Structures are given as structure tokens and as C-alpha cells.
Amino acid sequence: MFSFELLLEAILFGVLLGCFYAAVSIGLSVSFGLLDVPHVAHPAIMVFGSYCTYLLGLYGLDPIVAGIVLMPVFFLLGVGVYRFYYESFEKRGTEAGVRGLAFFFGIAFIIEVGLILVFGVDQRMAQAPYIGTSLSIAGYRIPYRLLVAFGVALVLTAALTIYFSKTFLGRAIKAVAQDEPALRLMGANPVRIKQWAFGIATGVSALAGAMLIIVGPVEPSLDRLYIGRTFCVVVLAGLGSMTGTLAAGLILGIAESIVLTLFGASWAPAVAFGLLLIVLGIRPQGLFGR
């Protein structure tokens, strides 16, 4: 059942969905893409952010405001987690990667179990005027919650791109990703810079968590659903590229939406991950990687 109108709608919704994918992946793009930390707990931290947003919502705070309020708290949490990871694993040498993976899986597991103990296994949702309503333009009804995700993804990408290219600390973070010994020779402390960057990645996860609960209901084990998707976006983008993350999110979102609308929902994940394999086959460094 093909119609040009349906295709156009599929692309439009794909763009919105893609921006949401980018918003939930951008923190990982910093921690995994730039810092090379196997941060598999990224989706779990996001879900934790969703629950914090939910809690603040009980006191009448809007989910987006709650996400912004939580960012500095999560920044400090990220600084602490990285310090522990560095002291326990990275400092000790070559096997840090594998052990670090176990460490972050452990964190993800602790967060999931902790959320179950405190909140139970029921789904939680946020309430806001833009959740469950839509904007009507030229016969199309576009959910406001996806428009919010669209806006947040654009703002986050722009802010991080400017930060990494225009500020001293931002450039230092890029430098530590490229050549850590050289940075050390310049008299800078790579560990403190990485700590700062990991804090930023975690802070961004708080806002992404707010996005998560705006777009749909959350439950403690939701992180498992996002591990594959977020890593897919970051790897497809090319490690560490912020604009690349947005572009990869868009590609994934549009591909999923078109396949889902015109060919069948069951094919959507297969096409998305098939796309990743093809891109990696042609460009192993990802679409925007160097």
C-alpha cells in the first residue's frame, strides 16, 4: 500500500525519531567515542535520569526543567564514577578494557536492581502538557513529545560541537582522545580532563533520561533495549563525532520509519543494523570518523 503522502509522513516521523535516537546517544558519543571508555552503563544511567525526572515531576517540575536541574548532579556523579574506574582499572594497564566492561555492566545491574527495590517493576510516566497531544500542520498531526526530542537533540549537538571546538577545555578533551601522551607532554593532566569529559557525558545523560520518559513510559530494565541502539548510532557516526551522532541518529530513524511504514515493522530493526554492517564494511571508521 504505497502512497507518496505516506512516504513523506514516514520521512517526517523518521527525522523526529532519529533526533530522539541522537539525543539518547550523544552522551555515549563522548564517553565511548571520545574517551574510549566501554560505558555500557550509559542507558542505565539514562533510565536512572528518567526516574529522577519522574520523582521531581511529583513535586510539579516539568520534565525538561527537571532534566536540566539534574544535569549538574549527574555531572558530579560522572566525575566520581570515572575517578573510581580510573583508579581501579584504567591506571592498572592493558586489561582495563575487559575489566572496565565488567565494571560498567556491574553499575548497570546495580542501577536496575536499585530502581526495582525503590520503585518496583511498574512502568512510570511523566506528565506534561506536551505529552499525549499533537501539533496539527497541513493535515499532519505531529506529537509534541517528538518535537521536544527533536529540539533537545539539536540544542545538545550544537552546544557540544561548539564546546569541543571553541573552548579550551573542549579542545583539550578532543586532544586527550587523539594523543594522550602528547597532552601530558604539554603539561596538562589527561586524567582530570577525561574526568571532566565523563562528567559532561553523564550530565547529558540526565537530560537524555528526561527525553526518555517524555517519549514513552520507563521501567527499570528499559536500559537493555537501548544498549544496542545507542552503540549502533555512535559506531555508525564514527567515534566521537557530535554532528555525526545526529546524522547517524537521523539515518537510523528515517530508515526504521520508512521500512516500518511501507514494508513491515518486523523488518525495521534488521534494516537498521544491516545498514550499520554495510557502512562499517565500506568505512570501518564510521560515517564521520577520521
Partner 1 sequence: MRPIRLIAAAFAAIAMLASGLAAAQQPIKVGMSMPQTGSLGAGGKAALLALQMWVEDVNAKGGLLGRKVEFIVYDDQTNPALTPGIYTKLLDVDKVDLLIAPYGTVPTAPIMPLVKQRDLLLMGNFSFQVNRTVKHDKWFNNAPWSDAASWSDGFIGAGQKLGAKTIAFLAADQEFAQNLANGARELAKKAGLQTVYDQNYPPATVDFSSMIRAVRAAKPDIVFVMSYPNDSVAIVRAVNEIGVGDSVKLFGGGMVGLQFTPIMESLGSSLNGIVNYNTYVPGLKYPGVEEFLQRYAKKAVEAKVDPLGFYLPPFNYAIGQMLEQAITATKSLDHKVLADYIHKNEMKTIVGPIRYGPDGEWASPRVVQAQFRGIVDKNTEQFRQPGKQVILHPEQFKTGEVVAPFEKVRGK
Residues that bind partner 1 (CB under 8 A): 1, 3, 6, 9-10, 13, 17, 20, 116, 120-125, 127, 131-134, 141, 143-146, 215-217, 219-221, 225, 257, 260-261, 264-266, 268-269
Q: What are phi and psi of 136, to 5 degrees?
A: -100, 120
Nearest approach in angstroms of CB 225 to partner 1 is 5
Q: Which is nearer to partner 1, 241 or 257 (CB)?
A: 257
Nearest approach in angstroms of CB 120 to partner 1 is 5
Q: Which is nearer to partner 1, 77 or 149 (CB)?
A: 149
Q: Which is nearer to partner 1, 269 or 289 (CB)?
A: 269
- Give which of 51, 52, 27, 55 is closest to 41, Cα–Cα: 27
- Give which of 135, 155, 176, 148 is closest to 53, Cα–Cα: 148
Nearest approach in angstroms of CB 19 to partner 1 is 12
Nearest approach in angstroms of CB 276 to partner 1 is 15
Q: Which is nearer to partner 1, 80 or 269 (CB)?
A: 269
Q: Which is nearer to partner 1, 84 or 140 (CB)?
A: 140
Question: Grid coordinates standing for 255?
Answer: 530508515
Amino acid at 82: Y
Nearest approach in angstroms of CB 271 to partner 1 is 11
Query: What's the CA gap between 37 and 290, in Å, rounded?
Result: 18
Q: Which long-range contacts (CB under 8 A, 24 or more apart) does 214-217 make?
A: 214/63, 214/64, 214/126, 214/128, 214/130, 214/131, 214/145, 214/148, 214/149, 215/20, 215/145, 215/146, 215/149, 217/123, 217/124, 217/125
